Structure 1
Amino acid sequence: MKNTQPTTADLERQLKRRSKAAKLEVWGRVVSFSALILIVAVVVAIIGFVASKGIATFTTNHVNLWDFLTGKDWNPGIKDAHGKPEVGALSMIVGSFLITILSALIATPFAIGTAVFMNEISPNRGAKILQPVTELLVGIPSVVYGFIGLSVVVPFTRNVFGGSGFGILSGTCVLFVMILPTVTSMSADALRSVPRYYREASLALGATQWQTIWKVVLRAATPGLMTAVVFGMARAFGEALAVQMVIGNAALMPHTLVDPAATLTSVLTTGIGNTVMGSLQNNALWSLALVLLLMSLVFNLIVRLIGRKGRLH
C-alpha cells in the first residue's frame, strides 16, 4: 500500500508557507506605506511648486525681500520714482492678521461658553439642540456667508459706523460666524477629554459646579482649547471668497476698522486669473501665496507644540 503519511519535507514546506492572514497583512502594509508616500509626495510637491513660483519675484525680477514685506504700495504694473516695482505686501499682511485676530478674539468666548453649556451645564439638552446647529454651520458654503455678509453686515456697518460698509469690521463679523462652529466643536471635544474623576474629586471637596468648571475643567482642557483657537485662526487666515466679498479689496493700509482693505487671499483670488504666467504681476501674486503657505505651516507648528505641551502635563 502507498504511504499517505506526510514526510518531513512536506511538513517543512507547510510550515514555511505563508498563511492567508499573513499575506493580507503584507498587502495592508504595502497599501498603507504607498498611501503615506503619496501624501508626503503631494505635500512636498505643493510646497516646492509654490516656493519655486514665489521666489521668482526675488530671483528673476530682483525685488528686494525687505521692500516686499514692508512696502505699503501694491501696484506691480507701475514703478516708483526710483524705478522699483510697487509690490509692497505689508497692507495685505496686516489686513489678514487683523481680521484673523479680531475674529478669533470674538469667537473664542462664545465657542468656549457654548462648549461648557453642551458638556457641563446641560449635556443632554444642550448637545441635542446645539450639536446639530454647529454641524449645520460647518456645512454652509463660504459663498453663502459672503452673500449674507454683503446683504446684511455691510449695510449694517454702513448705517451704524459710517463709510462704505466694506472693511475690516465687516470681514471680522463674517469670519467670526464662519470659525465659530470649528472652535466650538474642538472646544467641546477638549472638555469631553477631561477625566470624569477630576469633576467628582472637586465636587467631593466641596466646590460648586461653577468652581469645578472654572478651576478644574477649563484648566485641564487648556491645551485643547488653545488648539481649537489656533485651528480657528488658521481657517480665518486662509479664508478667501467670503472675505473678498465684504472687505473692499483695496490694497491700502487700514487706519480704522471701517476702511476698505485687502487680505492675502482676497488679492490672490481677484488677481491671479488676470495676469500672465511669468510676468512680475504673476510672480508677485505667487509670492503672496508663499507667504500664506508659510503662515499656514506656522499655525500647524503652533498646534503641534501646544499638543506636545498638553501631553507633557
Structure 2
Amino acid sequence: MDPIREKILKPSKETRQDFVGKTLSYASIFLIVGVVLAIFLFVASKGIATFTQNKASLVEFLTGSEWNPGANGPNGRPLVGALPMILGSFGVTLLAALFATPFAIGTALYMTELSSKRSQKFMQSVIELLVGIPSVVYGFIGLTVVVPFVRDHFGGSGYGILSGSFVLFVMVLPTITSMTVDSLRAVPKYYKSASLALGATEWQTIYRVLLRAALPGIMTAIVFGMARAFGEALAVQMVIGNATLLPESLLAPASTLTSVLTMGIGNTVMGTVSNNALWSLALVLLLMSLFFNIAVRFISRKGKM
C-alpha cells in the first residue's frame, strides 16, 4: 500500500485517545447504573421476603404498632408493625427541617447580602467544620448536653423525638445553608438592581425578589436536608430512647427506622423472620431515599419553568 495512503487511513493518536476516553466513560456509567440496580434488587428481594416467605401482612407492617418479629400474633402472622419507627423517622426529620430552615435561610442571606468578604470566609469555614464532624460526636454532644437540657426544661426522661430533632437540626443545618447560599448567588444580579431602581428597600428586595427567585433552590436544599436527616442512624440512636412504641409525645422515648436497623441487624441470623423484617425496614428507607430524589428533580424542573 502507498505509504501516504496508509498514513491517511491509519487512526491518529487523538482518534485513539478519543475512543479510549469514550469507552472508559460508558463503562463507568454502566458500572454505576449496574451497582445501583444491584443494590436496589438485593434490598428489595430481602425486604419482600417478610411478606412472601414469612406470610406477614403488608397492611399490618405499615399500620401495626407492635414490633416483635420473633413472635406471632393471634392470626399466626409475625408481629412486625413498623408504624412506630416510621412515625419516629418522619417526626425527627420534619422537626429538624422545621428548626433548621429559618436559621439556614438567615445565615445564607447574611453571607450573600449583608456580610463582608472576611465574614463570608469565616462563616464558610464554620459550615465546613460542621459538615466534617463525625456523627458519633454529634451523638455524644446530644447525650451529654441536649438530653439533660430537654429533661430539665421540658420534662420527661430527656430521650425522645425532640432531642433527636435538636441533634439533627445541627447536622442538617450546613447542608441546607450551603445549598441556599448557592441558590441565592445564582439569582441574576439585575433582579436586585431593577428592584432597587424601582424604589424598593433592601429588605423588600430580599423578601419579594431574591427569596422568591431562589425558592426552587431553597426547596431543593430543604428536601436534601430532610433526606440527610431521614437516613441518619448513630446520632439519633444515642438520644431518641430506642423504644419501639408509638410516640405519645415529643418527650416520650421513640425509635426510628435507622436506629432499629443498627441495633438489630447484628443480632439476627440471615433468613430468619427477625432478619427479614429488618430488611423490610431497609427497603422502606431505600424507597424514601428514592422519593426524596424524585422530589428534588421535580422541584428543580418546576424551577426551570
Q: Report deviation, 1:28.
A: 0.7
Correspondent of 1:143 among 136, 144, 147 = 136
Q: Is the 8 A contact 1:73 1:86 kept in 2?
A: yes
**Hey, what's the Cα distance between the residues in 1 that align with 2:50 and 2:74?**
20
Q: Is the 8 A contact 1:158 1:164 kept in 2?
A: yes
In structure 2, give the amino acid aligned to 1:47: F
Q: Hey, what does 1:185 align to over in structure 2? A: 178
Correspondent of 1:46 among 29, 39, 49 = 39
- SS state at 2:79 partner: strand
Q: Hey, what does 1:4 align to over in structure 2? A: none
Q: Hey, what does 2:27 align to over in structure 1? A: 34
Q: Report deviation, 1:123.
A: 4.6
Q: Is the 8 A contact 2:57 2:77 kept in 1?
A: no
Aligned-pair Cα RMSD in Å: 1.0
Look at both structures and tell me which one has the larger radius of gyration over its CA atoms.
Answer: 1
Q: Report deviation, 1:125.
A: 3.4
**Hey, what's the Cα distance between the residues in 2 that align with 1:130 and 1:122?**
10
Correspondent of 2:48 among 48, 55, 58 = 55
- SS state at 2:238 partner: helix
**Hey, what's the Cα distance between the residues in 1 that align with 2:274 and 2:232?**
22
Map 1:74-113 to 2 at 5 A. 74-113=67-106
Q: Is the 8 A contact 2:257 2:285 kept in 1?
A: yes
TM-score normalised by the chain length of structure 2: 0.98
Correspondent of 1:290 among 259, 271, 283 = 283
Q: Report deviation, 1:158.
A: 1.1
TM-score normalised by the chain length of structure 1: 0.96
Q: Is the 8 A contact 2:180 2:217 kept in 1?
A: yes
Q: Hey, what does 1:126 align to over in structure 2? A: 119
Map 1:236-275 to 2 at 5 A. 236-275=229-268
In structure 2, give the amino acid aligned to 1:106: F
Q: Hey, what does 2:163 align to over in structure 1? A: 170
Deviates more, 1:157-166 or 1:74-83: 74-83
**Hey, what's the Cα distance between the residues in 2 that align with 1:134 and 1:246?**
23
Q: Is the 8 A contact 1:117 1:126 kept in 2?
A: no
> Structure 2: 5+ residue runs without aligned partners?
none
Q: Deviations over 1:189-246 (max 9, x none)?
A: 0001111111111111111111111111111101100000000000000000000000
- SS state at 2:70 partner: strand
Correspondent of 1:305 among 290, 298, 301 = 298
- SS state at 2:250 partner: coil
Q: Hey, what does 1:13 align to over in structure 2? A: 6
Q: Report deviation, 1:80.
A: 2.3
Q: Hey, what does 2:269 align to over in structure 1? A: 276
Q: Report deviation, 1:302.
A: 0.2
- SS state at 2:271 partner: coil
Q: Hey, what does 2:108 align to over in structure 1? A: 115
Q: Report deviation, 1:22.
A: 1.5
Q: Is the 8 A contact 1:95 1:263 kept in 2?
A: yes
**Hey, what's the Cα distance between the residues in 2 that align with 1:202 and 1:23?**
54
Q: Deviations over 1:120-170 (max 9, x none)?
A: 111523312210000000000000000000000011111112211110000
In structure 1, give the amino acid aligned to 2:235: A
Q: Is the 8 A contact 2:216 2:302 kept in 1?
A: yes
- SS state at 2:253 partner: coil
Question: What is the percent sequence identity of the aligned residues?
Answer: 66
Q: Is the 8 A contact 2:55 2:77 kept in 1?
A: no
Correspondent of 2:151 among 148, 153, 158 = 158
Q: Is the 8 A contact 1:117 1:123 kept in 2?
A: no
**Hey, what's the Cα distance between the residues in 1 that align with 2:205 and 2:118?**
20
- SS state at 1:246 partner: coil
Map 1:171-250 to 2 at 5 A. 171-250=164-243
User: How many residues are aligned here?
Assistant: 305
Q: Is the 8 A contact 2:172 2:229 kept in 1?
A: yes
> Structure 1: 5+ residue runs without aligned partners?
1-6
**Hey, what's the Cα distance between the residues in 2 that align with 1:289 and 1:33?**
30
